[in-house]
Structure 1
Amino acid sequence: MSMADRDGLIWFNGEMVDWREAKVHVLTHTLHYGMGVFEGVRAYQTTLNGENVPAIFRLKEHTERLLNSAKIMRMKIPYTQAELEQAQIQSVVQNNLDSAYLRPMCFYGSEGMGLRADNLQTHTIVAAWEWGSYLGAENMEKGIRIKTSSFTRHHVNVSMCKAKANGHYINSMLALQEALADGYDEALLLDVDGFVAEGSGENIFVIKDGVIYTPELTSALNGITRHTVISLAADLGYTVREKRITRDEVYIADEAFF
């Protein structure tokens, strides 16, 4: 099914509009230059007072990161954090979703062309739809095969690595397409110094002798799921260490997971 041809509603610049009518012009600035910020948020079915209801996973933190990404990219979002959080809640409720993937995104409009962006309007959308496990249910059961990518993760002075920005994901797409073409399920990217950074769209953890390791946050995104894993592991009594990890440490790890 086409992402554009679905039933439902999308929050678009403060209003809920029909899914098929949530459109922009082909000369929309972000479509040409990739300057935009977004989040990938999950809502899970849970139980409250005996009723099944959706709960959005770490809504506050995801929304804060969206706003911080916009600040890093010098984009002015015309909505408060509370308004953006409410938009995400509305998107789940009004689409009658028990579990969902949410995509809040801020992008520049078609007010102008060229590299200058300070004269452009920032538009904001939130879409929500059912989307299963990112790596697929079967892969979650049997595990995946990973290729160390020939592509290098962004240098911190080439791109703003703490921003979840649209254009950054060209690097991820190249790495993933290479891995898939070579018969693998996912890519592992190294930083400019040859140390492990992250997967194409996930932070990585490795386990050795009962200790959980994860790369330091330099060229890797400061993942909210990453933070949750670290917190839960500590609560369960595991030792978690952030350090520079070499690719051979991954090869000889007892376990590894995204």
Structure 2
Amino acid sequence: MKMVRSITLALAVAAVGYYLFHGLTYVPSDEFDSVVFGWVGWQMSLPIIAITSVIVVFAFTGEGIVAALTGRNSSEFRDGLTGLGTIESFAQTGLTLNDQPQVRVEFSVEGADGKIFHSSAKMIVPLTQLALLRPGVVLPVRYLPDRTDKVEVDLSGDASAAQQALNESLIRKGITTQHKLDIAERGIATQAVVRSLSVTGTIRDGHSEVELGLVVTRPDGLSFATRVTKFLAPGSVGQVQVGRILRAHYLPENESEVVIALPVNA
């Protein structure tokens, strides 16, 4: 995008320069000619085309515009590292594309190495999805290690990369373990009903530890009772109230270990 802008600017400067040079150095050829014709003629189109081209190119190569038009991240960030961006705030920039606003989002980003940094991204957001942007929402982002002031929301559709980044973050914070992630990956997918809920009082990285009494359904239709502990963000506690049906995984050889799955942005 920088190269396209640079080339456009260079051509625009050359076009305007030629127009000025032609007008200033024009010499009438006869008595019916005039110096005015040095400024009036086909060359008048050069600065008009140049200025129009600069406006169009800069508009369509702005942050978030290319992604909105192509549905892909820019080439600069396409192979960037995947991090987790938590929305801190957002505001419309005033620019629109097909009546869809451009939004500047301020993120707190946790990188692949666990380091936290502040960054921002500009993107075109459909009006129907604007309400989904709110502080606390976590989105996968692409970033460059040597330039963390700017990120792009990941548009690759690679859910495995985003899940891997989330898993590594939860392990670093002590919210989950690799063993529990293995159960979630290899275990039998089923449903569990919350029978009881109690808070242990332990807090870890802003997550409260809760103890859940579950009734888990086996594939054969029978069920078994068990208890599990899990660290939950404040906004997720409402998802595990008594009577709620949850997605769960367990290993047949060890029914005492059950892992429940909850959406990140509830």
TM-score surpassing 0.5? no
Greater strand share, 1 or 2? 2
More RCO (CA 8 Å, sep 6+): 1
Question: TM-score under structure 2 normalisation?
Answer: 0.29
When the two structures are superposed, what TM-score results if normalisation uses the length of structure 1? Answer: 0.30
Structure showing greater radius of gyration is: 2
